[in-house]
Amino acid sequence: MYGAGLQFYGDEELREAVEVITSRQMSRYRQGDAADQSQSKTAMFEEEFRSTIGTGYCIAMNSCTSALLAALAGIGIGAGDEVLVPGFTFIATIAAVVYAGACPVLVEIDDTLTLDPEDISRKITPQTRAIIPVHMLGAPCAMDSILEVAKRHGLAVIEDVAQACGGSFRGARLGSLGNAGAFSLNVFKTITAGDGGVLTTNDEGLYKTAFSFHDHGYSPSRNVVADADASFGLNLRMNELVGAVALAQIRKLDTIVAILRRNKRVFAEELLARAPLRFRRSNDEAGDCGTTISCVFDSPSRADSIANALGTKTLIHSGKHYYGNMHQLSASTVVPRRGSQMVPFPDHRYGRGALPRTDDILARTVNLAVGVKDAYLGTSFGINPHSGKDEIAGVAEDFAIRTARLLSA
């Protein structure tokens, strides 16, 4: 099934893509003496995305990883800095910190499956420069507490919104609360263009630096080369075909999220009517995207038994979103830096056992699909965005039949 966005492809995406192909304008920078850059599909997507999220600035990129890297560059994160990241995230969050030259510091999650604000405070050192809260599985982090800690210690906050585009926290869209937000348009996401990413911010200086970083040192819109504060940027741009599909998808975002939220509510009600379940705590249920339902059990053994009965796995076994399964996080792992020089990770704990609370929570949690089916998220069992009430009730009944003996033991 992949993510929800792919399930809503239609004539709109096709029409936008065909317009790009027939125009032969494949770059966001229109060609010709009288070219109007505002007609770029990528530029139009940026404007509509910026308006939807509610930020002053937006940059369309080739991936969420690039957006994270550009955000770190825009803030000025580099060698000697520490950046706090949760132990439950996709490895790209950590990789971006490493390639910025900084040190990733692992932080516990709590029973929301997102960053634990209390452990953030315990992990702050004089070298800490930023926090990356990751809105995992479509759910918002405790942004009020995280922003309060960040303000108290003078830290930047970069929201990783890869899995929660369209979500919110107390009425504010995710990606608009921190210094910057990074989004993914991968096939497993709420909206998708196959791949792609977006950076959002309200900070003009961060925007200009991040733009320069993502486009060979140019200033926004390439009006002039950024000579005054010239830097060696990279090519992290979004192309017009991706921009065209993304434009059609952003116009469907609110509809998609509304459907997911409705289906999640119905699915949860049907499950609770048949089985004694406990779901993960939410920092803001109304702001949840509705892509998954996470069931938390009293022991890892019971969770494993339930997962096996459903043909899936607990989150601690489900793949590369758990720090303990990220083999790159070891003392022997090195990354290229300054040409051929290889720099090892600093002396921090990264191996399994470094975050005992995270280990415990993930070992006791089983995910059910609502808007995304991804083995790496443990969402092999569940419903899909187009499931009707009868189908949802049928899946809930199937869950109850498969797990009845295990839940009553």
3-state secondary structure of 119: helix
Tally Cβ neighbours within 10 Å of residue 376. 15
Q: Which pair of tokens denotes residue 405?
A: 């003996």
Q: What is the maximum span of the chain, computed from C-alpha positions, in angstroms?
A: 75
The Cα–Cα gap between 27 and 375 comes to 35
Residue carrying structure tokens 């060609």: 31
The Cα–Cα gap between 139 and 169 comes to 9
What are the Cα distances from residue 256, in Å, to 23, 165, 279, 346?
Answer: 30, 11, 23, 42
The answer for 139, left when phi > 0, alpha when psi is -120 to 50, beta otherwise, is beta
Q: Which pair of tokens denotes residue 270?
A: 């049907």
Using a 10 angstrom Cβ sphere, with 0-12 exposed, 13-18 middle and 19 or more buried, the burial of residue 250 is buried
- Is 189 assigned a catalytic role? yes
- Residue 130 neighbours by CB under 8 Å, 6+ apart: 72, 75, 77, 81, 83, 84, 155, 156, 157, 158
Selected catalytic residue, list 41, 189, 264, 373: 189
The DSSP annotation for 86-109 comes to ESBS-HHHHHHHHHTT-EEEEE-B
Cα(first)–Cα(last) distance of the chain, in Å?
Answer: 33
Q: Which pair of tokens denotes residue 51?
A: 């308006």
Catalytic positions, please? 189
